[in-house]
Amino acid sequence: MRKYSVFAIAREALRGHKGWPAQWSSPEPKASYDVVIVGAGGHGLATAYYLASEYGITNIAVLDKGWLGGGNTGRNTTIIRSNYLYDESAGIYNHAMKLWDGLSQELNYNVMYSPRGVMMLAHNVHDVQVFKRHIHANRLNGVDNQWLSPEAAKAFCPPLNIAGNARYPIMGAALQRRGGTARHDAVAWGYARGAAARGVDIIQNCEVTGIRRGADGAVAGVETARGFIGASKVGVVAAGHSTVLMDMAGVRMPLESYPLQALVSEPVKPCFPCVVMSNTVHAYISQSDKGELVIGAGTDQYTSYSQTGGLHIIQHTLDAICEMFPMFTRMKMLRSWGGIVDVTPDRSPILAKTPVKGLYVNCGWGTGGFKATPGSGHVFAHTIARDEPHPINAPFTLERFRTGRLIDEAAAAAVAH
């Protein structure tokens, strides 16, 4: 793997940039691997990377039915934060936050992590009470979060309209200063490059159509569009299609899949310094390095596998954005798209072994899994390598939906971006 450095850039500049090697190869699948990961999104690629870099397991294939990072990883609004209510959530999201800090250096790839602050707006008394509860719980867990008055919120984000006559008045805000954004494609590409350099085969356009089990019931491999691939360990990391994949092994998942949309504006000069979220009106906004406003909406009300979503959902989001930030009323929107998010009843993920020996699942991140990518891949690699969960993901079992030991971030916040 060619190391990226200022000297490499200077050398290539003199050579007309003709010497850069491919970032990862596209090998033909082998007959079998030690581990097959289904899904080349950020979580699947991070899992393969840490399996190789921390556990020395390199005979791995990461399979994707489309292109690498083309699922929710390349479709999300990239908000990173860790101010969830429960101890278990603080554990996993804060683990990710620590890894985000040094990720560009670790991967030798600029993931453009930008801890510019995430501010969550309170529009009613309920919001104020919920956010203050979160702030106290977060502080007990060593997670930074602070309460801002409406005036302090406006000082932090000058475009914010705090006039009292608004339909969604601003009654204050919770601010996580360490929260922010990262470049989603770069995260997938950086992990892919790092994994491939350690011997991992990344195989795109290779849909998994079945999960084969041996006579003893354990996993034997996967049927794919390019033939059978043997493996005694299979990790399913397929986000919105997790139920379909797990059904192939006879495991029923407590998940529903919904379209979730985002949109970007025309690019403008830097004018929006942070990330702002409003759970109540379900709109969130930041500005990308290209200058586009990146805006996210709520999920559709109906389950679906269509990667589009209803127009009325984004209209509602834009209504709210224009009221909260009147200076954007005349901005033109350039593109909108959707992804399929996999939602659990308690809005917390599942990272666990399954009742099928050798089959592991990492899913249920719903509307908020991008922020967890490094932490999720790190602890899922441990789970697969050691055949037992890491202490951080031990509570995120499949069984909790039978035993009732939920991690109920749904009731805590009613949103999970």
Ligand X SMILES: Cc1cc2nc3c(=O)[nH]c(=O)nc-3n(C[C@H](O)[C@H](O)[C@H](O)COP(=O)(O)OP(=O)(O)OC[C@H]3O[C@@H](n4cnc5c(N)ncnc54)[C@H](O)[C@@H]3O)c2cc1C
Which residue of 29, 71, 172, 389 would you call a contact of ligand X, by CB under 6 A?
A: 71
Q: Please pick, from the candidates 145, 287, 336, 367, the single residue that binds ligand X as defined by CB under 6 A.
A: 367
Stretch that binds ligand X, among 24-32, 51-59, 71-79, 190-198 (CB under 6 A): 71-79
Whose Cβ is closer to ligand X: residue 261's or residue 344's? 261
Could you tell me if 312 and 346 are in contact, meaning their C-beta atoms sit under 8 angstroms apart?
Answer: no
The smaller minimum CB distance to ligand X, of residues 162 and 245, is found at 245
Between CA 281 and CA 272 the distance in angstroms is 19
Beta carbon of residue 51, minimum distance to ligand X (angstroms, whole number): 15
Under the criterion CB under 6 A, does residue 150 sit at the interface with ligand X?
Answer: no
Residue 18 has a CB neighbour count (10 Å cut-off) of 6
260 binds ligand X (CB under 6 A): yes
Distance CA 207, CA 179 (A): 35
**57: its two tokens:** 């397991």
Distance CA 59, CA 64 (A): 17
Q: How far is the CB of 274 from ligand X (least distance, A)?
A: 14
Binding to ligand X (CB under 6 A) within 283-342 occurs at 296, 339, 341
Closest CA to 107 of 177, 183, 11: 183
d(CA 36, CA 58): 11
Nearest by Cα to 415 from 120, 160, 95, 115: 120
Q: Does 378 bind ligand X (CB under 6 A)?
A: no
- Told to check if 365 binds ligand X by CB under 6 A, we report yes
Pairing type for strands 275-278 and 118-122 reads parallel
364 lies in the site for ligand X, by CB under 6 A: no
Q: Is 79 in the site for ligand X (CB under 6 A)?
A: yes
Nearer to ligand X, 162 or 263 (CB): 263
Tell me the three state secondary structure of residue 258: strand
Name the site residues for ligand X (rule: CB under 6 A).
38-44, 63-66, 70-73, 75-79, 207-208, 237-239, 241, 245, 260-262, 296, 339, 341, 365, 367-371, 417
